[in-house]
Structure 1
Amino acid sequence: MTGKTHIMGGVASCTAAAYFYGYDPVFMTASGVIGALIPDICHTKSKIGRRLPILSAVISSVFGHRTFTHSLLFLLITAFAAHLYFTDQSILVGLMAGMASHLLLDAGTVNGIKLFFPSAIKVRLPLYIKTGGKAEQGVLAVLTVVSCYFIANLIA
């Protein structure tokens, strides 16, 4: 998936969680957007990879794309590290929701992800799409509608 789809996935997951569980929607959504971009640090041309080119190049050369940073192991390590630095549950849950949305969206692509890294098993959803294609535009549209729905209900 492209960066804009991941961003909207983070927004959709965080606004929904804020609505259902009463978290602060602003902090949660802001951290969710960041979380939705973090797994692509392994891709030097990604939004976050271009912002942190040296770190991205190192991670890419060591692990490759959609392996370690797209795994449950990375999600758990990030959750533990974030817990050490952030006490606000809205930020912690938002970060994890954004990262989880990223993994789910990338599992819905042709190449899938190595969710159980270091295992070589690839995980791909039964219905998958090509990154950047018309189907992804449809996913982006649905995520945008979902986000608008929950935002409207949060401010009402």
Structure 2
Amino acid sequence: MTGKTHITGGIAASLAFAQITHYDPVILLGAGVVGAILPDICHGGSKIGRTFPMLSKIINTLFGHRTFTHSLLFLILIGALLNAVSVNEAVTAGILVGMVSHYILDMATKNGIKLLFPLKITVRFPITTKTGSIAEYAVFAALSLLSVYFGYEAFSFYF
């Protein structure tokens, strides 16, 4: 999936999560976007990979793309790290929700992800698509609509 689809997925997921929690939707939203792009730190051409090129190169050299940073192990480590440094609970939740949305979207691609890393098992959905395809644009459009819906619900108390 492309960066814009991951970002939109993170927005939709974090705003949906705001519906069932007491967390501030603004914090969840910002953290959800960060979490949605974080797993692609292993890819130098990604939005986050271009922001941190040296870190991206090191991670890619050590693990490759869609392996460690797309795994449950990485998700748990990030959660533990955020809890250890006493980050706001809403920030931690938003980042983790964004990461999960990223994993789900990448499982819908032909290459899938190594969700159970270090096991070399590829996890993907039975029906997949290519990155940048018309099907991805349809997913992007659906996530955009969900973002508007959940955003209206999450921020309705401001109006």
TM-score band by shorter chain is over 0.9
Q: Tell me the CA shift for residue 21 of structure 1.
A: 1.6
Matched, 1:90 2:90: yes
**Could you tell me which residue of structure 2 aligns to residue 19 of structure 1?**
19
State the match for 1:68 in structure 2: 68
Q: How does 1:125-144 map to 2 (within 5 A)?
A: 125-144=125-144
CA distance in 2, matches of 1:66, 1:25: 29
Q: What is the rounded CA distance, in whole Å, between the counterparts of 2:148 and 2:129 in structure 1?
A: 24
The runs of at least 4 aligned residues of structure 1 exceeding 4 Å deviation read: none
> 1:127: how far off?
1.6
2:20 alignment partner, SS class: helix
Post-superposition Cα deviations, 1:27-49, rounded to whole Å, max 9, x if no partner, equal 01100100001100000000000
1:32 has 2:66 as partner: no
- Give 1:20 deviation, angstroms: 1.9
Q: 1:19 Cα deviation (Å)? A: 1.5
Normalised by the size of structure 2, how large is the TM-score?
0.96
Structure 2 CA distance for aligned equivalents of residues 91 and 139 of structure 1: 26
**What do the CA deviations read for 1:31-87 (whole angstroms, capped 9, x no partner)?**
010000110000000000000000000100110000000000000000000112244
Assess if the C-alpha contact under 8 Å between 2:25 and 2:155 holds in 1.
no
| Distance in 2 (alpha carbons) for counterparts of 1:13 and 1:22 | 15
In structure 2, the gaps of 5 or more residues are none
The answer to whether residue 18 in structure 2 is matched with residue 3 in structure 1 is no
Q: Gaps (5+ residues) in structure 1?
A: none
Aligned match of 2:52: 52
Deviates more, 1:81-90 or 1:135-144: 81-90
For the Cα contact (< 8 Å) 1:39–1:99, is it kept in 2? yes
Aligned length: 156
Question: Per the alignment, in what secondary structure is the counterpart of residue 91 of structure 1?
Answer: helix
- CA distance, structure 1, for counterparts of residue 53 and residue 119 of structure 2: 27
Checking the alignment, whether the CA contact within 8 Å between 1:86 and 1:92 is kept in structure 2 is: no
Q: Cα deviations across residues 101-134 of structure 1 (Å, max 9, x unaligned)?
A: 0001001100000000000000011121100111
8 Å Cα contact 1:28-1:94 kept in structure 2: yes
Q: Scaled by the length of structure 1, what TM-score is found?
A: 0.97
**Contact map agreement 1:7 1:37 (CA 8 A) in 2:** yes
Structure 2 CA distance for aligned equivalents of residues 62 and 2 of structure 1:
23
